[in-house]
Amino acid sequence: MPFQGLEKGIVLQDVRMFSSPKLKTRECYYLLTKILYLITAKGDSFTPDEATNVFISVTKLFQSKDVALRRMMYLLLKELSHLAEDTIIAFATLIKDVNSDAEMNRANAIRVISGIMDATMLGQMERYLKQAIVDKEPYVASSALVAGIHLADQSLDIIKKWITEIQEALNSRSIMVQYHALGLLHKIKRKDRLAVTKLVTWLADSGSLRSQYAHCLLIRFAVEVMEESGEKDEKLFHYLETCLRHKSDIVVYEAARAICGLKNLKTSDLLPAVAVLQIFLGFPKATMRFAAVRTLNKVATTHPDAIAGSCAFEMENLISDTNRSVATLAITTLLKVEHEGSVERLMKQITNFINDISDEFKIVVVDAIRTLAMKYPDKHYSIMNFLSTMLRDEGGFEFKSSIVTTILNIIEKVPQSTDLALDHLCEFIEDCEYTNLSTKILHLLGKQGPKCSNPSRYIRYIYNRIALENPTVRASAVTALAKFGIHRQELRDKIKVLLLRSLQDSDDEVRDRATFYIKILESHSDDPTHTPPLPPLAATLVVDDLAVPLENLQSDLVAYIENPSEAPFNLGSVSLKVKSPPPSESQANDKKNTQKQAPKKPSALPSFAQHLATIPAIANLGDLLNTSPSIDLTETDGVSAAYHVKLVKHVFPRHIVFHYNVVNTVAEQVLRNVTVEIGSDEDNGFVVEEIIPATEAVYNEPADLFVILSRPPVRPNGPKTVKIPTGNFWNNLLFQLHEIEPKTDQIDETGFPDEFPLDEVEIIMADYIRKNPIDDFTTAWAKTEHEPQSLTTFSLSTAANLKEGVAEIIRLLGMSACDNSGDVAPNATKHVLYLSGQFVAGADTGLPLIGRVRMRYSPQQGVGMELIIRSPNEAVAETIANVMFN
């Protein structure tokens, strides 16, 4: 390997040869190469002093007339110009080369000088650079244009004066000069959206570009203009379609890639680009095949119909491609677009290929198979057999883990595949070298195995793990076996015998688990005539998932052991909130000294449905229909607010629950019996039924309290609208404040009542609309063509741009933005927002809603909009549309 073991220190000593009166050209050239290698390839960092010394030494080579040495010298000076100091010493010499007759020296001097100039020196060089831009020698002109691109970042006002020369260069016959001229012209105009649009439109119509690189650049600029406008520009789209017939392959591909990447296109608009990419699939160059199949892979995600029929044959041929990257992309594309009847045939083709690729590519294929299984659940048998074959093949942990995860996902989505999946996983753990995967599968066997038609066949596999595996796996196997004994009474005696053998295990964890589960099994009735309910201990700790975080349970158990009590440990006393880790001793001292420690950000609220189900008063309200985004009821500045309070609104069939999340940010206080005082100054029909207070709010740990309100039903409100219950509520936080003695950390048990004002809470229309994102809005919109709809036009004068307008609409309507329409291009003046949701307040819970908002922005009128809402219920559609109008 060249330059192996090259040391920077030795090279820095050798630069003295550049100062020799008699230069040895070959040795100097070789040394310059070594320095470039250190900077670029090896990545050695030069200190400013080292870079400056080398820069000054290299400038001594200006005395050489050797062309190759001078080119290498310029190249190194350009690389060092960003590292070295005092580079200005070479400025005068470089100016001489800029005025020389040798084109090579002129071009290279311009490239170097652009790296050492600052804004104050550009005025001296402006005349030379403008002349160089229109030079007849393309190398010189390109160097000047590239210098202008770099200098535009610091001196754009001066560069703007070169417009005439740049436009002249844009007409050059040189492909590189034209390419660089277009790049510089766009950089000058990029902050003026109208100017960029005119430039792109003019060049697209004129057909004056000869350079394939300039065409590629113009295609990207055209896409940028269309994305910013939010609409399909017919002229620019026609230009892209014209480029599909260009004689240069790179222009054709760039145009096809650009069309496939545009948003909100119909499938018919993509077909010309797909046809071109289909041709590229048969090219002999691997780069072209890879580029084409990668683009088609992305199209398959959004428009599978555009590929399914036309490119399937070429894609199948690429499965055996010698380039593994091409073959992998071809497989994943086919998995996205193939019909259900072709799954078995495709699985056979993949089987012949999968062993020849690396684990990295295998994981990509497995991810695609997971999507296919979710798409065609009836094909789970062939897919599961294929995955089991891959599971038995050679592979690393990440690969095997991805297969196991895929099988678990299939079991979850396709319950009828459980028996087959468990059989395959049992075979796998017989020879599994990864502890994590073995324990994961054993947990699954313990959970799903007892529910199967013949659970006894899994016992042998599990017990083999007790006899043959490491302690971690043995412990997991003991737990899995116990679950069979608890769930299946006919197997209980056999399971107890097997667990008794584990009492002699060499590992404490295995013995403790065996003892624990034997005790549970013995506490269960052995009467074979009936199946009694499980003992509470078994139900809580073995069968059901723990309702408390394990971290909290562990810390509370440790505290109970350290401070023994006559009362038994109560699982119900464990907090449902994940506790913050205890501060270190130094952090605790800092807290006492400063008494002003910034609070941590409250942890995210847990899964609401699961959490609310643990509260009896709320669990009886019925199904949770919708949950609103969290809103702040206090100042968010941690310094100015003593307490942080967030609110989430939960909607039930006949009630709304206000869920307050309180964080005490004062280290020297504890809040107890935390509740709220709530009311409304308007007759909105809501009635407070119950308030569930928080027992305690200690420093920096979230505490939850709830207010249950009964809500009036949705009633007709005229011939075409309905009255949906909304309203405003004032509320104050009430609590008993107990101070903490800083020196002893003792809580003053006397305490005194206090209150804290909160912002008003508003129940709005959006609270009754559940987000319902859909993958293909265009198809969904077409299907609702004959449904009742309501059309409203209005304006948002308060919105400063389209982005704010989109955010306000989503906030007020509570619907999901579809097809990435929630993202607005910078400086856009037009945009189309696609919305989808479900209305949950009426008798028809989950009433589908779909909407489209056409938006236009002007500084004078703000954001103007046309909103269409479609729904099977005309009155609901009309009411929701009127929300924006009002």
Domains in the chain, please, with CATH? 450-527 (1.25.10), 610-763 (2.60.40.1480), 768-885 (3.30.310.10)
How confident is residue 601, by pLDDT bands cut at 50, 70 and 90? very low
Query: Nearest Cα to 437, choosing from 396, 404, 480?
Result: 404
* pLDDT at site 293: 92
Indicate the DSSP class of residue 87: G
pTM of the model: 0.56
* pLDDT at site 12: 86
Q: How do residues 380-392 score in pLDDT, each as one tens digit?
A: 888 888 888 888 8
C-beta of residue 687 within 8 angstroms of C-beta of residue 654: no
Beta bridge partners of 136: none
Cα–Cα distance measured from residue 213 to residue 183, given in angstroms and rounded to the nearest whole number: 10
Write the burial class of residue 19 (CB in 10 Å: 0-12 exposed, 13-18 middle, 19+ buried): exposed
C-beta of residue 382 within 8 angstroms of C-beta of residue 347: yes
Lowest mean pLDDT among 2-16, 70-84, 94-108, 139-153: 2-16
**Number of residues written out for the chain:** 886
Q: What is the mean pLDDT of residues 735-745?
A: 82
Write the burial class of residue 133 (CB in 10 Å: 0-12 exposed, 13-18 middle, 19+ buried): buried
How confident is residue 43, by pLDDT bands cut at 50, 70 and 90? low
Buried b (16+ CB within 10 A) or exposed e, 239-258: bbeebbebeebebbbbbbbb
Between 873 and 604, where is the model more confident? 873
Distances from the Cα of 813 to the Cα of 43, 487, 623, 884, angstroms: 54, 48, 22, 8
Q: What is the mean pLDDT of residues 5-25?
A: 84
Q: How do residues 302-320 score in pLDDT, each as one tens digit?
A: 888 888 777 878 888 888 8
CA 655 to chain centre: 35
Cα–Cα distance measured from residue 224 to residue 268, given in angstroms and rounded to the nearest whole number: 22
Q: How many CB atoms lie within 10 A of CB 752?
A: 9
Indicate the DSSP class of residue 171: T
Q: What is the mean pLDDT of residues 503-515?
A: 90
Is the predicted pLDDT of residue 602 greater than 50, yes or no? no
Between 309 and 179, where is the model more confident? 179
Question: Sign of torsion, CA 749 755 760 764?
Answer: positive
> In whole numbers, what is the pLDDT of the chain averaged over residues?
84
The percentage of residues in the chain with a pLDDT greater than 90, rounded to a whole number, is 25
C-beta of residue 410 within 8 angstroms of C-beta of residue 421: yes
Q: Within a 13 Å sphere around the CA of 495, how many CA atoms are in the beta-carbon half? A: 32
Is the predicted pLDDT of residue 613 greater than 50, yes or no? yes
How confident is residue 604, by pLDDT bands cut at 50, 70 and 90? very low
CA 191 to chain centre: 29
Cα–Cα distance measured from residue 451 to residue 773, given in angstroms and rounded to the nearest whole number: 34
Q: How many CB atoms lie within 10 A of CB 560?
A: 15
The percentage of residues in the chain with a pLDDT greater than 70, rounded to a whole number, is 91
Q: What is the mean pLDDT of residues 545-560?
A: 74
How confident is residue 716, by pLDDT bands cut at 50, 70 and 90? confident
Cα–Cα distance measured from residue 824 to residue 803, given in angstroms and rounded to the nearest whole number: 6
Token duo for residue 647: 């609110």
How confident is residue 336, by pLDDT bands cut at 50, 70 and 90? confident
Q: How many CB atoms lie within 10 A of CB 282?
A: 12
Between 252 and 489, where is the model more confident? 252
Cα–Cα distance measured from residue 243 to residue 812, given in angstroms and rounded to the nearest whole number: 43
* pLDDT at site 600: 38
**C-alpha angle 523-525-528 in degrees, rounded to nearest 5:** 150
* pLDDT at site 542: 63
Indicate the DSSP class of residue 563: S
Indicate the DSSP class of residue 539: I
Q: What is the mean pLDDT of residues 31-52?
A: 82
Query: Nearest Cα to 388, choosing from 376, 403, 402?
Result: 403
C-beta of residue 835 within 8 angstroms of C-beta of residue 770: no
Is the predicted pLDDT of residue 322 greater than 60, yes or no? yes
Q: How do residues 407-422 score in pLDDT, each as one tens digit?
A: 998 888 888 888 999 9
Is the predicted pLDDT of residue 2 greater than 80, yes or no? no
DSSP-derived secondary structure for 721-775? -EE---EEEEEEEEEEEEEB-TTT--B-SS-EEEEEE---EEE-GGGGEEE---S
Is the predicted pLDDT of residue 742 greater than 80, yes or no? no
**Segment of 118-132, 330-344, 582-596, 760-774 carrying the highest mean pLDDT:** 760-774
Q: What is the mean pLDDT of residues 581-602?
A: 42
Distances from the Cα of 853 to the Cα of 50, 255, 722, 795, 827, angstroms: 61, 29, 22, 12, 18
How confident is residue 597, by pLDDT bands cut at 50, 70 and 90? very low
Question: Sign of torsion, CA 112 116 119 125?
Answer: negative
Q: How many CB atoms lie within 10 A of CB 715?
A: 11
* pLDDT at site 533: 56
Bridge-based pairing state of the strands 769-771 and 727-739: unpaired
